[in-house]
Chain A
Amino acid sequence: DAGVIQSPRHEVTEMGQEVTLRCKPISGHNSLFWYRQTMMRGLELLIYFNNNVPIDDSGMPEDRFSAKMPNASFSTLKIQPSEPRDSAVYFCASRPGQGSTDTQYFGPGTRLTVL
């Protein structure tokens, strides 16, 4: 298995532009998570899907952020418009089941820089 796949690995954009981050979870996994990591705040949970349905989006910082999971093998995180404070590494993770005793498998991350 290729593991969780994220694209792009690096994104540099200018303030005000739309950014779309993509994730392909491990096949057969039921849960998908988007995290953001910065030095100041560490690894923050943004949103969590179970069986393609958003369960908890309380971590999404504001309306500029949106996430979708149209099917079991694909999810997107969109920032529109982007701002310099959105610069961070964004991780996608998937998990086989619903319970938090299950291991989460992380992708390699997308490093976003907003100028």
Chain B
Amino acid sequence: SQKIEQNSEALNIQEGKTATLTCNYTNYSPAYLQWYRQDPGRGPVFLLLIRENEKEKRKERLKVTFDTTLKQSLFHITASQPADSATYLCALSNSGYALNFGKGTSLLVTP
């Protein structure tokens, strides 16, 4: 069966450090993968999309890698801030139409 797995345990880091979140998938052959941020009581918000041939993509303090051999994406936040505290979801699709989401990893950045 298709699975998208993210660390279920919350990640606690100190302000200024780099946060790294992992997304692993099985039985997908995605051409692209997306990352979303979700704050409590709100819907997910799109952050980044990475294509299979891009390997790495950056946006300000965010960096995403995509390894289709390992079937894994890593999501990095450098110089983390308390405002980065949220749940981060990865999403991908086999069909090219609808996205399926992982359960998300909660990140807490403490001052």
A: residues with CB less than 8 A from B are 4, 31, 33, 35, 41-43, 45, 48, 50, 55-56, 91, 93, 98-101, 103-109
Task: Give chain B residues whose Cβ lies under 8 Å from the Cβ of A55.
Answer: 97-98
CA distance A42 to B45 in the complex (A): 16
Given A106-B44, A108-B42; A45-B96 close (CB under 8 Å): no
- Given A43-B101, A100-B99, A101-B32; 8 other pairs, CB 8 A cutoff: A42-B103, A45-B99, A55-B97, A104-B46, A105-B46, A106-B44, A109-B41, A109-B42
Q: Is the CB of B96 within 8 A of A106?
A: no
Q: Is the CB of A48 within 8 A of B97?
A: yes
A-B contact pairs, 16 of them (CB 8 A): A31-B97, A33-B98, A33-B99, A41-B103, A43-B104, A48-B97, A99-B96, A100-B32, A100-B99, A101-B32, A101-B49, A101-B51, A103-B34, A103-B49, A105-B46, A108-B43
Give 1 or 0 for each of B18-42: 1 = CB within 8 Å of chain A CB.
0000000000000010100000011
Identify the 7 closest CB pairs spanning chains A and B, nearest first.
Answer: A106-B43, A42-B103, A100-B93, A43-B101, A103-B46, A48-B98, A106-B44
The majority secondary structure among interface residues of chain A is: strand
Counting contact residues on chain B (CB < 8 A from A), the size range is 20 to 34
Task: Give chain A residues whose Cβ lies under 8 Å from the Cβ of B45.
Answer: 106
B: residues with CB less than 8 A from A are 32, 34, 41-46, 49, 51, 89, 93, 95-104
CA distance A97 to B90 in the complex (A): 20
**CB closest chain-B residue, reference A3:** B43
CA distance A43 to B45 in the complex (A): 13
Task: Give chain B residues whose Cβ lies under 8 Å from the Cβ of A41.
Answer: 103
CA distance A48 to B93 in the complex (A): 13
